[in-house]
Amino acid sequence: MRILGIDPGLKLTGYGIIEWTGQESPLRPPTLIDAGVIRLDAKAQLASRLHELYRELDALFEEFKPQVCAVEQLYAHYNHPRTAILMGHARGVILLAAQRHGATIKQYAANRIKQSVTGHGHAGKPQMQRAIQLTWNLPTPPDPPDVADALAIALCCGRAMQVERAIKGK
């Protein structure tokens, strides 16, 4: 099963695509297909950035044909409500693109993703980058951190779906 993990952003949106077979283990990670960032013009109008994000996501779905799209849930801090509103716009575009391409949509809280990948729900960016580097034996940590976050989201999704299947007995 191909999983597309997305770390939403209005400047940088990280993405990571993995192939999950159900045979994964700590010694045998899923296959890393592709990862990177979608860079958006921070000076452009919000509508233009959202349109560009949609076009780029559409191209990813067309090229890699993921069956599952995993996205970090929206977290709103009371000191920064505007940030949550703006991120909601990006997440809406991501969910629209995934739905349009028939992908199953999975959403996970940030602390669950961090716990799944590092064993600590409050891991920092460098710790997440290092965990992803070690998972796939990469020569350097993924940079920018949005790439590592997207791969962590995809990895968390694969693990969660494997547990769900085990509980259901399939």
pLDDT in tens, 65-90: 999 999 998 876 667 778 888 889 99
* Burial classification of residue 142, based on how many CB atoms lie within 10 Å of its CB (0-12 exposed, 13-18 middle, 19 or more buried): buried
- What whole-number distance in Å separates Cα of residue 32 and Cα of residue 2? 10
Residues ≥6 apart with Cβ < 8 Å to 107: 70, 71, 72, 73
1, amino acid identity:
M
- What whole-number distance in Å separates Cα of residue 54 and Cα of residue 100? 11
pTM above 0.85, yes or no: yes
Is 72 labeled as catalytic in the residue annotation? yes
Active-site pick, 72, 143, 149, 164: 72
DSSP 28: B
Task: Quote the percentage of the chain above a pLDDT of 70.
Answer: 97
Is 63 labeled as catalytic in the residue annotation? no
pLDDT in tens, 121-139: 999 999 999 999 999 999 9
In what order do the strands lie in the sheet containing 68-72? 31-39, 12-19, 2-7, 68-72, 104-108
Q: What is the structure's pLDDT at 77?
A: 65
Spans in the chain with pLDDT lower than 50: none
Domains by residue range for the chain, with CATH: 2-168 (3.30.420.10)
Active-site pick, 143, 146, 149, 164: 146
Nearest CA to 117 out of 14, 49, 26 is that of 26
